[in-house]
Amino acid sequence: MALGFPGLADLNRKTIRANVNPLDKCTIVSIYPRNIVETKVTLQPPTYRIPSGTYDKPGILVVESASYWVEIDAQQPLLEVPTPSITMADSIVKDYMNGLLACNMGDATPGLFYVQGKKTVDEVKRDHKTELDIAKMRQNNWYAALVKLADVMWSRTNGNPIAISDDMRFAAKELGENREWMRDFEKIGLIRCIACGNLRDPRFPICSTCKAIADPEMAKKLNLTFAQ
């Protein structure tokens, strides 16, 4: 703390924002029927909540500019670095989608996009129908990719419900698909394989992990034959 100026050092450490440009705004549009929360811990404001939406009634979030601070030295106040709203909107959308299963950040993504300016739902539907159509196409592609991946995982794991994620079931439901792996598996109890000890589905005689015939009686009843 500086001598003769109680609290001056603490004052220099405060992150006080300058006036925000009221015209610097973007609108994030979502036709993804789930609420989204993105957190940017180094920025102010730090939290962004995008409401769920549909093609007919998109969810919107108006984003303003944000700020972060850089330290120059111990004597000078922290330097505020403003981030434009369009940069924030782009970061929020891409950071959420990046890393989602089966999302390729191209033509198979959740139905999210952003436009410049503060928009209402009616304005988005009227003036940005092309963007809405593209978002719907990309979201359906993403759903289809999740369903295809679920089919592969279901086959490779011999029907193990653990291999199917909630996103996969949600995608199939949104597309109106009917798959065996969409059933409620809460009542299906997994048991340990007598050969390798890993969990397996008791409805099938062969362990999906070690390929041992864990239930010979069931295999015989099903009249299964195996390659030698």
The 10 Å Cβ neighbour count of residue 148 is: 13
User: What is residue 226's predicted lDDT score, i.e. its pLDDT?
Assistant: 65
Question: Using one digit for the tens of pLDDT, what is the confidence trace for 33-76?
Answer: 999 999 999 999 999 999 999 999 999 999 999 999 998 887 78
Q: Does the pLDDT value for residue 144 go beyond 90?
A: yes
Q: Which residues contact 99 (CB under 8 A, 6 or more apart)?
A: none
C-alpha triplet 199, 203, 208: angle, nearest 5°: 45
Q: Does the pLDDT value for residue 13 go beyond 90?
A: no
Q: Does the pLDDT value for residue 85 go beyond 60?
A: yes
Q: Specify the 3-state DSSP secondary structure of 66.
A: strand
* pTM, rounded to two decimals: 0.76
Question: Using one digit for the tens of pLDDT, what is the confidence trace for 104-128?
Answer: 999 999 999 999 999 999 999 999 9
User: What is residue 186's predicted lDDT score, i.e. its pLDDT?
Assistant: 47
Q: Does the pLDDT value for residue 98 go beyond 50?
A: yes
User: What is residue 189's predicted lDDT score, i.e. its pLDDT?
Assistant: 67
Return the percentage of the chain with pLDDT > 70, whole number: 90
Which of the four pLDDT bands, split at 50, 70 and 90, describes residue 151? very high
Q: What is the mean pLDDT of residues 1-28?
A: 72
| Residue 88 identity (one-letter amino acid) | M
Q: What is the mean pLDDT of residues 133-149?
A: 98
Contacts 24+ apart (CB under 8 A), 117-124: 117/25, 117/26, 117/27, 118/25, 118/27, 118/62, 119/27, 119/29, 119/60, 119/62, 120/60, 121/57, 121/58, 121/60, 124/27, 124/29, 124/58, 124/60
Mean pLDDT, the chain, integer: 88
Question: Using one digit for the tens of pLDDT, what is the confidence trace for 153-196?
Answer: 999 887 788 889 999 999 999 999 999 898 765 445 678 888 88
What residues does 39 pair with on adjacent strands? 47
